[in-house]
Amino acid sequence: MERLAIMGGSFDPIHMGHLRMAYAVQKQLVFDKVVFLPSYIPPHKQKRTDFASWEDRLAMVRLAVQAYEDFTVSTLEFDRGGVSYTYDTVNFMQELWPDAEIYLIIGEDSLTQLYTWHKVLDLLRMVHFVAAERPGYEGEAGVERLAKAYGPWVEEKIIHAEVPETAISSTEIRKRLKDGLPVRGMTPPAVEQYLYEHRLYQTTERKEG
């Protein structure tokens, strides 16, 4: 049975922290593929004015993963027509890959809120969660809350993985580009080149200059 790890996110833009997390998880748990799943946010639902388009974010993710043999990209959310609950996305994945064992990569900080997710009990029955450990976050409280509500079997559905500590964030990259500061080393070189060629996240004045 094929083992697939799904890493979803807005990737606005994708950066080295995302890639290091996925690489660490892949090496520790040995998946056949790590599937990057960029979220699709329709233009009329975008709350930020500096949000990159779906096409740009997808292009950058594809550039970022091309150096990794076991990484691939899925356009599933776009193909489905917009934002959806994780439960709906997983259902569709199981239709696409009926013989695959699916794992969802999340940050350990998300464990504390996992109980609030739509149809979380069904999700726990359908997939495993891989919690990427992050400094300063204690996800065990979230796991204990779920186990108390649904039973101790829940603990077997959540796997912890150690990932390298990184201070890189998409927010910081956007801010640096807006301020005209370099982002070298924060993203793969191909993504950095794309950011500058397409003048993403820059102010109107800087774009026109």
Highest mean pLDDT: which range of 25-34, 73-82, 138-147: 25-34
Supply 172's token pair: 């910081």
Predicted confidence (pLDDT) at residue 209 exceeds the cutoff of 70: no
> Helix, strand or coil for residue 69?
coil
**Mean pLDDT on 71-79:** 93
**CATH number for the domain running over 2-166:** 3.40.50.620
What percentage of the chain exceeds 70 in pLDDT?
90
**Which burial class, exposed, middle or buried, applies to 117 when counting CB atoms under 10 A from its CB (0-12, 13-18, 19+)?**
middle
Q: Could you read off the pLDDT of 142-169 as tens digits, one per residue? A: 889 999 999 999 999 999 998 888 889 9
Could you state, in order of their start, the residue ranges of all structural domains in the chain?
A: 2-166
Higher-pLDDT residue of 201 and 81 is 201
DSSP structural state of residue 169:
-
Tell me if 132 sits within 8 A of 107, measured CB to CB. yes
Mean of all residue pLDDT scores within the chain: 90
Question: Which residue type is seen at 141?
Answer: A
Higher-pLDDT residue of 81 and 184 is 184
Write down the pLDDT at residue 79. 87
Given pLDDT bands bounded at 50, 70 and 90, which one contains residue 83? low
